Structure 1
Amino acid sequence: MGLDERVVDVGDHVDDGVPHAHDGVLRVGHLVSRSKDGRGYPVRSDALTSAGGPVTAPNPTAATGEADRYRLPRTVVPSHYDLVLEPDLGAATFTGTVAIDVEVVEPVDEIVLNALDLEIDRATLVGPNGTRLAGSVTYDADTERALIDIEDAAAPGRWRLELSFRGELNDKLVGFYRSTYVDEDGATQTLAVSQMESTHARRAFPCFDEPDFKATFAVTLVVADGLTALSNAAEIADEPTDDGRRRVRFATTMKMSTYLVAFVVGPLEVTEAVTTRGGVPIRVAHPRGKGHLAPYALDAAVFCLDFFADWFDIPYPGDKLDLVAVPDFAFGAMENLGCVTFREVLLLIDPESATQPELERLVDVVAHELAHMWFGDLVTMGWWEGIWLNEAFATFMEMLATDAYRPEWQRWVSFGLSRTAAFDVDALAATRPIEFPVISPEDAEGMFDLLTYEKGAAVLRMLEQYLGPDTFRDGIRRYISTHQYGNTVTTDLWDAIEESSGEPVRRIMDSWIYQGGFPAVGVDLEQDRHVVRLTQRRFQALDPKGSEPDATEWSVPVTLRVGRGDESTVERVLLEGDTTTVDLDRPADWVHVNVDGAGFYRVRYSPAAREALLAHRGQLAAIERYGLVDDAWAAVLADELDAPSFLALVRELAADEDDLSVWQRIAGGLGALDRLVPAPAREAWTATVRALARPALDRIGWEPAAAEDERHRQLRGTLVSLLGTVGADDEVVARSRALHDRHLAGEKGLDPALVAAAIEVVAGSGTAEDFDAFAGRVRAASTPQEEVRYTYALADFPGAEELDRLLAMTLTDEIRTQNGAFVLRRALLNRENGPQAWAFVQSHWSEISERLPSMSMVRMVEGVRALSTPELAAQVEAFFAEHPLPQATKTLAQHLEAMRVNVGVREREADRIAAAVTD
């Protein structure tokens, strides 16, 4: 499943591929290896010994039987579902029947399965000889289960459980729900859509809703004539019914988990199929009139499916693939086998008007979901604590596939932004291990955060680069081939890679998976530059109310480049314990640790090593220069470097920097400092920003060159946005306004990166008239990307009245519920009016909670981190003491800690940076 937001505010950050202003606050995320029976956690005796003892997997059920409240008994096991659903879109209801082939393992007089918000009208257990046992149904709402009492005990053997049921097409974007769009004629059209992950299949049909209860599914949808019906497998029959509807039957799926079952019914159009090299037909289903926006995604999907079939060395496990654009969708996308659902903005696109990040984001999400067809669908975690591995691996694979699809985008370089977002979460005392015990559905929902996706992908990338790509891939192939159609635990993966590589993979990875946090690796050149000394200690941002970092240690796969003149060599070493040394055969002029930025650790150079490295920075790759800026800003958050020193580093690097990602990170740091500058120093501050960034814009010019690559075009947009917002550059603002006027007038051929930047710049100084124009453009947008750009930019306006208008819109259908949380979060990030947005959130908490999807609430709350005055921070903490978020307890704690970190930065650095720019 793709998160609704992935790259989080580290400069030109991206929500669904949309560039934002440079608000620069500390970011945190939004979204434990069991034994085969799902009850205990295996730990090898050679597990890494840390300062606190061996790194071992936690056992959530050793002390209590709490997990048993939510785990179904294994006395009845499903093997096949015959499911018939009849949705009534007008009434927002559905009825259904399901016949489940089960194996009764031991005599039972009660069958327990999952059901939520359903009424089961009839239950019968049918034996192989025709015996029919009636069942009476009761419900346990707390554990989301239906208990079926059978009139007589059922003996072990094969039975069929027949159920009839009914429910509502809800408006919560989970289970079987309704979505709407306005068609080209202005009429509202309604769809019925499913979203089952993590534990929402039970809202659509009674089922054994746990990932290791794999079964096959034969779905039939009875729908009104004229509607499109889609499910996981190929359509095998479409027959009229006696009442004027149609009965659409689909082939039986492979063996899979309930959370992957999908059905979509509604007024959709479907493109002609295109076929992969392996013969898989791929289509895009979309709201009527939007077929012209589908070809780019189709092209990417064909490439990715072929790429993954080759990489895994196993054919795609489905019989067809539909990519479905859904108008209302809580996540980014969902990897239902053969029927992948997406937000429109992540599937439908006009490549002529889209920015490079928007195109990249679309390919990323398509690749992510298709990687899941193997890693997640074909091989599935045994229980929800393993969801990190599905999502982390799919995130890793999206980078691999996108980089192969468009090498010029330098996807592993731009992944630095995602890694930074994960670093920012993991630098908090309130972080968590990547894998942790999951007991309840709320626990499962809490897994979908940046630690699961971005940190997980980052540590996989670190392992891949340490072992070598071919060795890593061989281990993955062994894992997939061994466990296809089954369920696994995390250690199954490490063991497969260890067998292929001969390296202590489980020992290395246990230290990263079962411990929160990460190290800062210290670097020094000693003994006349013949020895590189490496040390490690836990890195932690400074929370004024927090405690000192503990003595946690990791098994750190370190890569370092040793430079001598214009030549360099790469060394690899496993840093275990607090110190290790690398002996060199001859003196080094300089050394750079973390080659290609693949390691998930910060780097701290001694003064002499740092000076030597900066003198040779021209020999560093872009992602390595990015790391210099990123590590320096992290040091400010940890109170290891002051803001003026960070600014001095940026000045030095910016003088000749021309990489997009490096400038995005510079812009993020400058945006963070922008929040600290007192009013008397603001004019001097904006002049400082202009002096830093204007030479870079002057070097590349305002007009794109014919042969210019997409990243260079996006760099221009980043610089324009930085100068027009943080730098308050009058010329840039004027030119942006003129460009935006041309865009509103319908002029074709304008550079998309400049148009997106101009929208940000105009919003940042916008008037009431501009607000009206933006709101109108939301309604009249020609692409999903333009709609989202203008929707989110409404939160950047400086006027209090305009913000009031926007905040009121979030409680109406003027802002889709899927976007409402992100609009409110961005309003909280508004440098001038964040407190006003917070007052609105407090006073309308009940309405917001009722309206927005449950999982998106914590995304909205992320914005409180920008409220970095002590008075506001105290208000926020007091409010959430009374208004917890049970579906995201840990993430909320992270948001609050990050807010306190920002309070501390303000208190330490505001006067320092003011003095630095006014001297």
Structure 2
Amino acid sequence: MTISLSFGRLLAAASTLAFVATGASVPAAAQTAQGMAADAKPAPQQDMVDPSLPTQLPRTAVPHRYTIDIVPNAQALTFGGSVRIALDIVKPTDTLVLNAADLAMDSVTLYGPDGKWRTAKVALNADAQTASFDFGERMPKGAYLLDIVYTGKIGTQANGLFALDYQDPDGTERRGLFTQFEAPDARRFVPSWDEPDYKAVFDLSATVPADQMALSNMPVKTSEDVGNGLRRVTFGSSPIMSSYLLFFGLGDFERINRQVAGTDVGIVMSKGKTDQGQYALDSASAILPFFNDYFGTPYPLPKLDNIAGPGQSQFFGAMENWGAIFTFERILLNDPSISSEGDRQRIFSVAAHEMAHQWFGDLVTMAWWDDLWLNEGFASWMENKTTATLHPEWGADIDRVGAREAAMGLDSYASTHPIVQTIRTVEQTNQAFDAITYSKGESVIAMLESYAGADVWRKGVQDYVKAHQYQNTRTDDLWNAVEAAGATDLTQIAHQFTLQPGVPLIQVASAQCKAGNTAITLRQGEFSADRRDAVLAKPQSWNVPVLAATIGGQTVDAVTQGATTSMTVPGCGPVLVNAGQAGYYRTLYAAPQLAALAENFAGLAPIDQYGLLNDNMALAYTGYQPMGPALDLVAAIPANANPKVLGEGLGVWSGLYDLFDDEPAVQAQVGRIIQQRYAPVLGRLGLSVRDGEAAADTLLRPALISVLGSTDLKSVTAERTRLLAALAKNPKALDGPLKTTWLGLIARDADAADWQTLQGLARKAGGFTERSALYGALGGTKDPVLAARALDLAITNEPGATIGAAIISSVSRNNPELALDFALAHPADIDRIVDNSAQSRYVARLAAGSDDPATIEKLEAYAKANLGEEARKPVDQTIAIIQSRLERRQRIMDQARQWIMANAG
């Protein structure tokens, strides 16, 4: 956490006939509730009816087992379904209320302890996404069977049961079916208690074309021929789990697999791509034993698949369905014609993230969406830890600091929210999947692990998993387990960082050498991107774990207490606070202290160089210090620095180059700085990937080509011209790991003829990843006339159902106002091509790069007309970012210009 019988309401009777004709069973009334309880119902979980938890359903009944039968009709984009739910009524009631969305109920009956069947009067509430079943009499507590026959829709965006269209390598048109249920979309597949606390066992059967592969969480248990080219597949019973983890897939698939630590590990993809799945299989095979060992609880299911979907979403890239992870193929398959080193590393890291969820999220699940971060923050942290352990050469420690910066970029605005947040509506749930939940969650866990010690932290995690497996938890359950393992006072620190929003600011108020040690005084405040004066007057308070060291010296730790904290650091010399970059806070140095760090920059570890750069650029942009000292740090990056540090510096200069787009003379000066510092680096690396080179160099090259190309470096522009000419003759001329890099550069500076060439190639592209890259490139043009053509193209059928939204997003990178205006003018098209779970954030994201004050008014009008108060958060965050950028733009330009003129050669 990334689809020729009609089953419509007017053919309700034909729905039942279809079940009979295809061999799918209509629920039988003969089995007693007592019998079901004996052979199918697990013991209730202790926390499954917890009245203190939020809920959108009345706490009157608890489901224990769903026996689901579906008959999908992929061509008609409809399906028929039946479900038998074994449940307990725990509070006398005459009505049962379940979640249901876009489902039509054909019949609803209830069998009770008295041996009678009752027929329900059905009321659907589309806004609440519920179905109410009124049985006309009060039913006492006890065990019941609820039978429902229903019909549903197969969508073309990733919500519920959905279809993805694609082409085989030989050009044959295909359609695959998949499901996406997180957060609240299992209700589009089966009427259910679709909340995480209502864990149950799921038995799934499906009547499907006999020549296609059907997939679910568990292996196939039985498969029987039912005639007419169909077969009925029944999967093994799932473990007790939350509804959003259920999965179903169907299509012309192939599977490669391997036995790993007693588990059948597989990669599933469309036919003809098995070679592309081998890298993902190798990755999963390495990750699973590591997780078995780290968590101290072996993976409990017999198989673990990762299923490739040929599409994309504006909401997610992969989903941790238990035993049946779903991942869009562009981040699962390794296609040598287009996959880069970054793509391959992403395949590994996304797999690590989703596999971590098999324990943190699936085996142990948050009780309510308030604690979503328990799933996502932990999986993000585990993803990074796994990468750092199994692939230390990739520099995952620096990537962890990058994730922290992404979180602080959002967390420093007044529109932020705590990690543990209040969720009460479907829309709030969808919006909870953001950088605070993922990246701040990851960063805070990294800090707490550092505070507790790696061994104590791991022991606490293992105890937590063992104590709560197959159950639901809240955040404090994790803190209690880690404290019990030996992390004294961890809960107090954890509460401050998870229950209140914002970013601490640690100011190094003084630093004096005394008897071979350095005495420092730290003053604590709060860092803000849009309320600096307000938080200076009344900052929030945290107990912040701090690690500090002189350069090359021993690291010491302390936890801040109150407004000031004193530390004694061994050695004399420049002091680095947040050594190792585990802390979630900004550090502000006095000018002489920062100058000393700049002079000794080459002596810092790469992770500290990276963290120091990011801290000081953020402090300069927000006005806590001038731009000059921060740019001195960027200028201090040595030519032989870690490639990720070099890339961070390159990003700063590139941002300044774009900032002075309306001042050609200053922009030319910045361009000269970029070329003087980075052309030699590209010259050393070369324009092509070399056998045996370091992975970090391979990752740096695309950024160098893109940025130096924007400054018109002759070697890059000449290669662009050569490749474009070759591409016009040979569609495979760009094939290889730099394909998307050169496509982006070609498209960015394209004229009408170039753009037409790219469109022609996009139309002929076969594989989804290549097709998506080519159409996305069309939107990346700087020319507003061509960008407008890309927007018009996005809402046609040409790109495909899931690519159009990505084209509009691509336009927003260079023409944000154009993209926003287009989206606001075409609401029906946006509704059609963007997942309904992502629409408000999608529109807000289009505008995020705008420097036009009028954009704020447009966003306000959009929110007022289309969004409730609970759905405004993405728009409010974008407005805050634009406002702050506009307010500080002139100051930044003036200070940066002054430095550039004084330092440009």
Give me the TM-score of the superposition, normalised by structure 2.
0.89
* Aligned mates of 2:296, 2:103 — CA distance in 1: 42
CA distance in 2, matches of 1:474, 1:412: 22
Aligned match for 2:465, one of 477, 480, 492: 480
Query: Hey, what does 1:319 align to over in structure 2?
Result: 302
Deviations 1:676-723 (A, max 9, x none): 213342333322322232233344444655432111122222222221
Matching of residue 90 in structure 1 with residue 75 in structure 2 = yes
- Partner SS, residue 675 of structure 1: helix
Corresponding residue number in structure 1 for 2:818: 836
Partner residue in 2 for 1:442:
427
Mapped pair 1:335 → 2:320: yes
Mark the CA change 1:715 to 1:233 in structure 2 (over 3 Å): closer, same or farther.
same
Structure 1 SS opposite 2:530: coil
Matches within 5 A, 1:289-368: 289-330=272-313, 331-350=316-335, 353-368=338-353
The Cα of 1:40 is off from its aligned counterpart by: 4.8
**Structure 1 residues 473 and 181: CA distance shift in structure 2, 3 A:** same
- SS of the aligned residue for 1:308 comes to helix
1:701–1:329 CA distance, 2 compared to 1 (3 A):
closer
How many Å separate the matches in 1 of 2:66 and 2:404? 41
SS at match of 2:79: strand
Partner of 2:792: 808
Structure 1, 643-652 or 427-436: larger mean CA deviation: 643-652
CA distance in 2, matches of 1:186, 1:782: 7
Which of the numbers 167, 172, 186 marks the counterpart of 2:171?
186
Aligned to 1:897: 880
Q: Is 1:629 the counterpart of 2:613 in the alignment?
A: yes
CA distance in 2, matches of 1:462, 1:386: 19
Q: Which residue identity does 1:694 align to in structure 2? A: A
1:714 corresponds to which letter in structure 2?
L
SS class of match (1:443): helix
Residue equivalent to 2:644? 661
Say if 1:72 and 1:511 are closer, same or farther in 2 by CA, change over 3 A: same
Contact 1:733 1:761 in 2 (8 A): no
- Partners of 1:751 and 1:189 in 2: how far apart? 24
**Match in the other structure for 1:559:** 547
Question: For 1:46-94, what per-residue CA distance to the aligned partner results, in whole angstroms no more than 9, with x for missing partners?
Answer: xxxxxxxxxxxxxxxxxxxxx6xx5222321111111100111121111
Does 2:701 match 1:716?
yes
Deviation at 1:544, TM superposition (A): 10
1:254 aligns to 2:201 (yes or no): no
1:97/1:36 CA distance change after superposition, 3 Å: closer
C-alpha contact (below 8 Å) 1:714/1:753 kept by paired residues: no
1:539 paired residue number: 527
User: 8 Å contact 1:684–1:917 — kept in the other structure?
Assistant: yes
**Cα deviation, residue 650, structure 1:** 1.7
Residues 891 and 402 of structure 1: CA distance in aligned 2, closer, same or farther (over 3 Å): same
Asked if 2 retains the 8 angstrom alpha-carbon contact of 1:561 and 1:592, the reply is: yes
CA spacing shift, 1:606–1:318, aligned 2, 3 Å: same
- Mapping for residues 194-233 of structure 1, pairs under 5 Å: 194-233=179-218
* Structure 1 residues 227-626: aligned runs within 5 Å: 227-266=212-251, 268-276=252-260, 278-330=261-313, 331-350=316-335, 353-528=338-513, 530-542=518-530, 550-563=538-551, 567-584=552-569, 587-626=571-610
In structure 1, C-alpha distance between the alignment counterparts of 2:744 and 2:527, rounded to whole Å = 34
Structure 1 residue 879: Cα displacement: 4.5
Aligned AA (2:621): L
Give, in angstroms, the shift of residue 616 of structure 1.
Answer: 2.6
Contact kept in structure 2, 1:173 and 1:328, CA below 8 Å: no
The structure 2 residue matched to 1:137, chosen from 98, 111, 122, is 122
Distance in 1 (CA, whole Å) between partners of 2:868 and 2:749 is 35
- Aligned partners of 1:457 and 1:271: how far apart in 2? 33
* Structure 2 CA distance for aligned equivalents of residues 602 and 881 of structure 1: 35
Q: Shift of residue 137 of structure 1?
A: 1.4
1:644–1:263 distance in 2 versus 1, CA, 3 Å: same
C-alpha distance in 1 between matches for 2:808 and 2:633: 34
Matched to 1:424, the amino acid is G
Q: 8 Å contact 2:156–2:801 — kept in the other structure?
A: no
Amino acid of the structure 2 residue aligned with 1:326: G
Q: Secondary structure at the match of 1:284?
A: strand
What SS does the aligned partner of 1:296 have? helix
The amino acid across from 2:491 in the alignment is: R
Q: 1:778 aligns with which of 743, 762, 765?
A: 762
Residue 916 of structure 1 and its aligned partner are, at CA, apart by 4.2
Question: What's the counterpart of residue 62 of structure 1?
Answer: none
298 and 819 in structure 1: CA distance in 2 versus 1, 3 angstrom threshold: same
Q: Separation in 1 of the partners of 2:843 and 2:460?
A: 39
1:845 to 799, 821, 827: 827
Return the offset for 1:524.
Answer: 4.5
1:867–1:873 Cα contact (<8 Å) kept = no
What displacement does 1:753 show?
5.3
877, 896, 905: which one aligns with 1:913: 896
Is the counterpart of residue 769 in structure 1 residue 769 in structure 2?
no
Q: Kindly tell me: are residues 526 and 183 of structure 1, through their superposed partners in 2, closer, same or farther at Cα, counting changes over 3 Å?
A: closer
Is residue 730 of structure 1 aligned with residue 714 of structure 2? yes
| Aligned residues of 1:329 and 1:342 also touching (Cα < 8 A) | no
Deviation at 1:730, TM superposition (A): 2.8
Is the 1:825–1:860 Cα contact (8 Å) retained in structure 2?
Answer: no
Is 2:675 the counterpart of 1:690?
yes
Please identify, of 142-151 and 111-120, the stretch whose mean Cα deviation from structure 2 is larger: 142-151
> Which whole-Å deviations, capped at 9, do the CAs of 1:498-547 have from their partners, x for residues lacking one?
11024211101100111111112112443435312112211011379998
| Residues 549 and 723 of structure 1: CA distance in aligned 2, closer, same or farther (over 3 Å) | farther
CA 1:780–1:463: 2 relative to 1, 3 Å: farther
Query: Per-residue CA shift, 1:327-365, capped at 9, x if unaligned?
Result: 235321111111111111111113575222111111111
Distance verdict in 2 for CA 1:749–1:297, change over 3 Å: farther
The answer to whether structure 1 residue 640 and structure 2 residue 624 are counterparts is yes
Shift of 1:862: 1.6
Contact 1:232 1:261 in 2 (8 A): yes
1:317 Cα shift? 1.9
Give 2:836's aligned residue.
Answer: 854
Q: Paired residue for 1:156, among 136, 141, 146?
A: 141
| Bigger relative contact order, structure 1 or 2 (CA pairs below 8 A, ≥6 apart) | 1
The Cα of 1:187 is off from its aligned counterpart by 3.7
- Alignment gaps of 5+ in structure 2: 3-46
Structure 1: stretches of 5+ with no match in the other structure: 3-34, 42-66
Distance 1:39 1:687, change over 3 A: farther
Q: Secondary structure at the match of 1:552?
A: coil
Q: Does the Cα contact within 8 Å between 1:233 and 1:251 map onto a contact in 2?
A: yes
Distance (whole Å) between structure 1 residues aligned to residue 562 and residue 49 of structure 2: 34
- Partner residue of 2:150 out of 153, 156, 165: 165
1:31 alignment partner in structure 2: none
1:7 corresponds in structure 2 to none
Contact kept, 8 Å, 1:371 with 1:398, in 2: the verdict is: yes
Counterparts of 2:307 and 2:849, CA distance in 1: 36
Q: Which moved more, 1:518-527 or 1:537-546?
A: 537-546
Report matched runs for 1:34-113 at 5 Å.
Answer: 40=52, 71-113=56-98
